[in-house]
Copies of this chain bind each other. A is one copy, B any other.
């Protein structure tokens, strides 16, 4: 039997696992709840127990695996295989992961940041089509990303490569960002950013709009509500989506003017808007990209959904082949 890869996607709510072929095909997958109680001290033992249980269930042993890869929130130290400051896991202090999993399972282990790992997944078997130059942008609660250039995931000198959400798109009078700067892409293109932008634009909008009325009324409005209303013809909501497309298209063009990737892949919850959002990003991308770049770099929507994490994590393990 040919050897396999194990991928683990560690999140604040669930931990997802996948057993994959060397071609990136998922053969088995499962998930467990993330127990963040008591400073998240149960998380690593829960992962070890779940792995042992499933391997026994499937009749697999350590010799069946080339390696285990994991994507994690927080600041990941790839060499010591530890994580620090993953606050949604209650891991404020440095947490040993690799040493424990390698000892318990006897399989080589690799770890990287969750946004980087999702980028690797989309690049490998998703929209990136295994091209050596792909940039992944994830639009969720925040805006994250991962940069793959000339076949390498780019970490940079201090591991802050791929901070796509903190590209400045409004150099003057931008919204304040959680990072302390103003005008970051995240402030206008994350799920909360889209709503913030809508609130701001509502102040000066004078036409009829159910979304504007809901905002003015103090009702809870989500980014999904805004996209749905725009698709249904609400012209205020449409102007908000257009502005989100402008900011994302500007950021995408500047990324591509620097790196000229084969594609910029848009993922995360906000990307569920699909083509309705993609073509607006592309419109502004084409306005702002250098001529050779606009002919060669494509704007795509991610294809793997929630599986990007386990697939990308598994790809980390292929280094042990």
Contact = CB atoms under 8 A, between A and B. Distances in A.
Interface of A: 131, 133, 147, 149-164, 166-169, 171, 179-181, 246, 250, 253-262, 287-293, 295-297
B161 A258 contact: yes
Each complex incorporates copies of this chain amounting to: 2
Contact of A171 (B288, B289, B292): B288
A264 to B, nearest CB: 11
A296 to B, nearest CB: 4
14 contacts: A133-B161, A147-B258, A149-B154, A150-B152, A157-B260, A158-B297, A159-B292, A160-B257, A164-B257, A171-B250, A171-B288, A179-B290, A179-B291, A258-B259
Contacts of A152: 149-152
A166 B257 CA distance: 6
A234 to B, nearest CB: 25
Nearest to A287: B181
Contacts of A157: 131, 133, 260-262, 296-297
Contact of A260 (B159, B260, B295): B159
Contacts of A162: 258
B292 A168 contact: no
